[in-house]
Amino acid sequence: MGTKVTLAVADGTNMGAFVACPVATPRPLPGLIVLQEAFGVNKNTREIAERLSAEGFLCIAPELFHRTAPGKEFPYDFEAVKPHYMAITTPGLEADLRAAFLWLQNEGVKSIGAIGFCLGGRAAYVANAILPLKAAVSFYGGGIAGELLERAKDQRGPILFFWGGKDAHITPEVRKPLFEALGAAEKPYVNVEFSAANHAFFNNDRPSYEPASAAQAFALAKAFLKSNLA
């Protein structure tokens, strides 16, 4: 079972976060910042954190909407969350990521990674550019190859990207500049596309869920994180 904690953020705000801790795993633990979709730290996000904690990771899932909708979970309707999504600023996001990272460090965690989905996939990429992460996993992160392309050269740990081949918005053409930038900067990455999957294929509470792709992605992500955070 997970617990709720409150983190002090450098900009003076307080941020709620969900924590899932392994029960019978030798210490010290590796840690993961688990980053939400655009609908809050909801049941799906909490379940992902708990699944990863069962694999031996101390997980913290920060509430990225804490400035405008603290503690709130939203239905799967982007129009409902758009004001909160648009209110996220890069400095604010970076402060939130640093607060989550510091919490893990204060728990004695020395080997830390990040994993995120959609909005969280973008946030995991940002985290890997500003924090000394050992690895990051980004599921269908939107907007990375736009205004965040310059962050490619700053990636700290190896990063694993997952995409849906049926995603009409984040197409291979949209993603191409990202991998050109990572290659030019000689940053280690893995790029995986599931041809049968759409956007948000990992979320089993949404119609876009694609079980086979989700199962394979979890196995790959788990192996990638364990290998790099060991």
Question: Which residues are identified as catalytic?
Answer: 118, 167, 199
One-letter amino acid at 113 equals G
Q: Are 125 and 141 in contact (CB under 8 A)?
A: yes
- Dist CA 52 CA 46 (whole Å): 10
Contacts of 114 by beta carbon, 8 Å cutoff, 6+ apart: 32, 33, 34, 35, 97, 123, 124, 127, 128, 131, 133, 136, 137
Alpha-carbon distance of 45 to 36, in angstroms, equals 6
**Tokens standing for residue 97:** 């990521």
